[in-house]
């Protein structure tokens, strides 16, 4: 391949810039022309792209967000949008595309691949919810951001002997909530993958720890469960502890990527271009058992992922 492109799609994630940088520099160093497509698949439909060189991606490795901007593009799900995207590829001689995003973006990459434009998916989302990959770019940064914010909440919660119910992002995946919950020493963790009886897992738990003289509590709830305000009211009424709730929201998605995210993003971006250089498309680059590997994109989308129940059980046992 002589000409490739890169786009970021879906929710932005810290480390996406490091992946873009790796794609552009690997491509350029190997004699390819590399286009950056703006606003994900929408930019491909609108012919909104720009040729990048090794200097275009200077000074971005430490920045959150994505220099190419991102979008959740509904038009790309329609055949008309798909055909416009293919026309843009033909116009610029684009022979392969690196798509950095989540499973939804991978489905778009699969559909484009099936229509003759080879794509390579690279997992980029804070949620860690990509079924084929143990790790997604942005997850570590987000986890540390949540930990930092809840540590701050703990200061005030402790000072006032209160309970704080915290809603954490993650779409339908509980990884961020479970891992941050352990890291902040939460009293209870509620995630969609494990059915929780609120009475038993939250209320009784608080009451039990109150008997051991515990005065402040942090309850971590995944976005996929929601209802933090109602849960806070219930805790206050039933446990007699003043309770507040907070939805951490989009602040979780921002910030400078951690070293782990920068390194993994660089490895994955490099690996993606190596595949395109060999004329291989229709793959996703993922992490399995600490190794960067690639899978067929269709196979990858049919895989399943389980929550770490051992970790959940540990959290349950020690958070008392």
- Annotated catalytic sites, by residue? 127
Cβ-based nearer residue to ligand F6P, 18 or 163: 18
Piece of the chain touching ligand F6P by CB under 6 A; list 47-55, 164-172, 274-282, 289-297: 164-172
The answer to whether residue 64 forms part of the interface with ligand F6P (CB under 6 A) is no
Sequence-distant (6+) residues with CB within 8 A of 313 are none
Distances (CA, A) of 166 to 52, 140, 150, 274: 41, 19, 8, 42
Q: What is the DSSP string of 254-267?
A: -SPPPHHHHHHHHH
Q: What does the block give as tokens for 203? A: 């209320």
By beta-carbon proximity to ligand F6P, the closer residue of 230 and 251 is: 251
Q: 3-state SS string over 100-116? A: EECHHHHHHHHHHHHCC
**Is residue 244 within the footprint of ligand F6P (CB under 6 A)?**
no
Q: What is the spatial distance between Cα 83 and Cα 276, in angstroms, rounded to a whole number?
A: 22
146 makes contact with ligand F6P (CB under 6 A): no
248 or 300, CB closer to ligand F6P?
A: 248
Nearer to ligand F6P, 33 or 171 (CB): 171
List C-alpha distances in Å: 78 to 46, 75, 86, 114: 14, 5, 13, 14
Least distance in angstroms from the C-beta of 108 to ligand F6P: 15
179 binds ligand F6P (CB under 6 A): no
Instruction: Determine, following the binding rule CB under 6 A, whether residue 127 of this chain makes contact with ligand F6P.
Output: yes
Name the residue with the smallest CB distance to ligand F6P: 11
Q: Is 115 left (phi over 0), alpha (psi -120 to 50) or beta?
A: alpha
Q: Cβ(4)–Cβ(276) under 8 Å? A: yes
Q: Which of 34, 169, 198, 221 binds ligand F6P (CB under 6 A)?
A: 169
Bridge-based pairing state of the strands 163-168 and 243-247? parallel
Nearer of residues 71 and 268 to ligand F6P, judged by Cβ: 71
Q: Which stretch binds ligand F6P (CB under 6 A): 83-91, 113-121, 124-132, 197-205?
A: 124-132
In whole angstroms, the minimum distance from the beta carbon of 11 to ligand F6P comes to 3
Q: Give residue 96's region: left, alpha or beta (phi > 0; psi -120 to 50).
A: beta
Tell me the window of 153-161, 168-176, 240-248, 263-271 that interacts with ligand F6P (CB under 6 A): 168-176
Give residues in contact with ligand F6P (CB under 6 A).
Answer: 10-11, 102, 125-127, 169-171, 223, 253
């Amino acid at each position: 391949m002589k000409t490739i492109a890169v786009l970021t799609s879906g929710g932005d994630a810290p480390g996406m810039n490091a992946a873009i940088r790796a794609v552009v520099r690997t491509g350029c160093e190997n004699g390819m022309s590399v286009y950056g497509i703006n606003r994900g698949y929408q930019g491909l439909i609108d012919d909104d792209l720009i040729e990048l060189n090794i200097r275009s991606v200077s000074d971005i490795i430490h920045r959150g967000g994505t220099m190419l901007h991102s979008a959740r593009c509904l038009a790309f799900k329609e055949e008309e949008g798909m055909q416009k995207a293919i026309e843009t590829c033909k116009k610029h001689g684009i022979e392969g595309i690196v798509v950095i995003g989540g499973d939804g973006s991978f489905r778009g990459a699969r559909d484009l691949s099936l229509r003759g434009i080879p794509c390579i998916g690279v997992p980029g989302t804070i949620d860690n919810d990509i079924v084929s990959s143990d790790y997604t770019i942005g997850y570590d940064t987000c986890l540390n951001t949540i930990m930092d914010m809840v540590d701050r909440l703990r200061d005030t919660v402790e000072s006032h002997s209160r309970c704080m119910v915290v809603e954490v992002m993650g779409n339908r995946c509980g990884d961020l909530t479970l891992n941050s919950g352990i890291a902040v020493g939460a009293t209870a963790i509620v995630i969609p993958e494990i059915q929780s009886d609120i009475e038993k897992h939250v209320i009784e738990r608080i009451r039990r720890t109150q008997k051991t003289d515990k005065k402040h509590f942090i309850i971590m709830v995944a976005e996929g469960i929601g209802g933090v305000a109602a849960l806070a009211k219930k805790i206050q009424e039933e446990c007699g502890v003043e309770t507040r709730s907070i939805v951490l929201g989009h602040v979780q998605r921002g910030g400078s990527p951690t070293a782990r995210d920068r390194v993994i993003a660089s490895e994955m971006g490099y690996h993606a271009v190596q595949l395109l250089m060999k004329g291989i498309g229709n793959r996703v680059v993922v992490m399995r058992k600490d190794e960067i590997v690639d899978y067929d994109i269709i196979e990858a989308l049919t895989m399943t992922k389980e929550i770490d129940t051992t970790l959940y059980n540990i959290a349950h046992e020690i958070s008392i």
